[in-house]
Structures are given as structure tokens and as C-alpha cells.
């Protein structure tokens, strides 16, 4: 059952067996990234995007062609198509009218064109550990780029060609970022927001909204911050499907 009474679903934090239970539960929960929210509100004409939020990744079969179309429609291209520095993937960067960056990545047609969310973090191993244990994500790949003084980790719920993933970027020596006020949150579906919140607390995440139904629509959610303060919302899978009806 749910831990509505405030008892820990997974028992005493100090108990290694209970901790293993939490890990197993998180690992077997039915999770996927649902959507990303960034702010574009009525009456607000400027956001501070800060320097911590990276970009949204969009998969395209032909980046050059996509960029030409974007230019033809008056879009702002900030990095022309070409191989990524230190690699082979053809990429380009564009900015939407509010200054949010999008990386266009060349790859085979995928079921999820919105393929990544890039966030900058101050300690890559701390973040990898958190997203593995508290969120149950897999570390899909990790790459150090000493020539350009950064390292990245790609994490998610399943293979990159089928799922939107989280790209964590660590810039050598940078431990703090200004998160601005533009980024809101990324949403993840879960079968149990109560157990989700317990597991997050167990692994050092901060719960900023205790699990429970939202007034009015009754969708159960819980909201947390990762070790760098990036906000994530977990949404009950069944409630979320009802919202879409």
C-alpha cells in the first residue's frame, strides 16, 4: 500500500535490506520521461535562462536540410551544421524566440524526435549515482572530452533511439550554475508517487512537494530536486492517462 500515513515504505534508511528493496522497486517501476516544461507565460516577455540549463535535443535525419528549413522560416541558427567538436555526429544549434537552445542531432528516424534534455551539473559522479539509484535510470554512455574540458553522461529509461534521455554535462572545475527562472521541470511517469518520494529521500534528493493528489484534477504527483537543484515531477501513470482522455 501507499505510505500516506507518513511511514517509510522501505523502512529504516540504515537497513541495507530495505535499501535494496527501494533500489529494486525503483528499477522495476514503469517509468518514462513524459514531457519537459519551460516557461512561456502570458504577460512575461523575458526569462533569465541562466547558464545551467543546456538544451533540448531534436533528432533529424538530415540536419543541413532541417537547418535550411528553419532559416527559411526565420529561425535563429547559432551553430551551423557540421560534426560535433571532438566527434562525428552532425549537429547544429538553434534558439527559439525566448532564447531556449535546441540541438539538432543527425540520426535515423526515431519514435521520439525530442530525444534529449541537457542539464549542466557540478559533480558528474554524484549525479550519475543519484539518477541511477533515486530515479532508476540506466547509465547509457559516458564520455570524457579532455580537449574541450568537459564530460557527459547519457542516462535514461531504455535505449537512446527509443526514449528521450537526460544528458548531464560536467565542465571541468565548474561546480555551480545559475539556473535562472526559465526552466520549470521534466516530468516522469511512475506507478507509485509515494514510493517514488521515499526512494528519492533515501538517496539524498530533496522532496519539495510531498506525494499526493493535485487539488482539482486529483492527479497524484511528487516534486523533487536533484543534487544540483534541478526540478523533476513524478506523475502517476494511471492519473496521467486519464488527464489525456
Q: What's 214's DSSP letter?
A: P
Contact window for ligand GSH (CB under 6 A) among 34-42, 79-87, 186-194, 233-241: 79-87
Q: Is 140 in the site for ligand GSH (CB under 6 A)?
A: no
- CB nearer to ligand GSH: pick between 87 and 213: 87
Give the residue, chosen from 34, 150, 162, 231, that forms a contact with ligand GSH under the rule CB under 6 A.
150
Residue 227 to residue 242: CA distance in whole angstroms? 32
Q: Output the smallest distance, CB 133 to ligand GSH, in A.
A: 25
Catalytic residue among 103, 106, 167, 198: 103
Contact window for ligand GSH (CB under 6 A) among 2-10, 28-36, 41-49, 147-155: 147-155
Residue 48 CB partners (closer than 8 Å, separation 6+): 178, 180, 181, 182
* Cβ pair 185, 35 in contact under 8 A: no
Residue 232 to residue 181: CA distance in whole angstroms? 15
CA 54 to chain centre: 11
103 is catalytic: yes
Give the residue, chosen from 24, 76, 148, 206, that forms a contact with ligand GSH under the rule CB under 6 A.
148
- Rule CB under 6 A: which of 169-188 touch ligand GSH? 169, 171
Residue 157 CB partners (closer than 8 Å, separation 6+): 31, 32, 33, 136, 137, 138, 163
Q: Which residues are the active-site residues?
A: 103
Q: Which residues bind ligand GSH (CB under 6 A)?
A: 54, 79, 84-85, 120, 148, 150, 152, 169, 171
Amino acid at each position: 500500500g501507499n505510505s500516506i500515513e507518513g511511514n517509510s515504505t522501505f523502512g529504516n534508511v540504515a537497513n541495507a535490506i530495505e535499501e535494496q528493496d527501494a533500489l529494486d522497486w525503483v528499477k522495476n517501476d514503469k517509468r518514462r520521461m513524459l514531457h519537459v516544461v519551460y516557461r512561456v507565460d502570458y504577460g512575461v516577455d523575458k526569462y533569465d535562462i541562466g547558464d545551467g540549463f543546456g538544451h533540448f535535443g531534436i533528432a533529424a535525419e538530415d540536419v543541413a536540410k532541417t537547418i535550411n528549413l528553419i532559416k527559411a522560416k526565420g529561425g535563429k541558427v547559432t551553430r551551423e551544421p557540421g560534426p560535433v567538436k571532438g566527434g562525428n555526429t552532425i549537429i547544429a544549434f538553434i534558439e527559439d524566440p525566448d532564447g531556449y537552445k535546441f540541438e539538432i542531432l543527425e540520426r535515423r528516424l526515431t519514435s521520439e524526435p525530442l530525444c534529449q534534455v541537457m542539464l549542466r551539473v557540478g559533480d558528474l559522479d554524484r549525479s550519475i549515482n543519484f539518477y541511477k539509484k533515486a530515479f532508476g535510470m540506466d547509465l547509457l554512455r559516458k564520455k570524457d572530452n579532455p580537449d574541450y574540458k568537459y564530460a557527459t553522461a547519457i542516462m535514461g529509461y531504455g535505449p537512446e533511439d527509443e526514449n528521450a534521455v537526460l544528458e548531464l554535462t560536467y565542465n571541468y572545475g565548474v561546480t555551480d550554475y545559475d539556473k535562472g527562472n526559465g526552466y520549470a521541470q521534466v516530468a516522469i511517469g511512475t506507478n507509485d508517487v509515494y514510493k517514488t518520494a521515499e526512494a528519492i529521500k533515501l538517496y539524498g534528493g530533496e522532496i519539495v512537494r510531498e506525494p499526493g493528489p493535485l487539488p482539482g484534477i486529483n492527479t497524484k504527483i511528487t516534486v523533487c530536486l536533484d543534487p544540483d537543484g534541478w526540478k523533476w515531477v513524478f506523475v502517476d501513470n494511471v492519473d496521467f492517462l486519464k488527464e489525456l482522455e
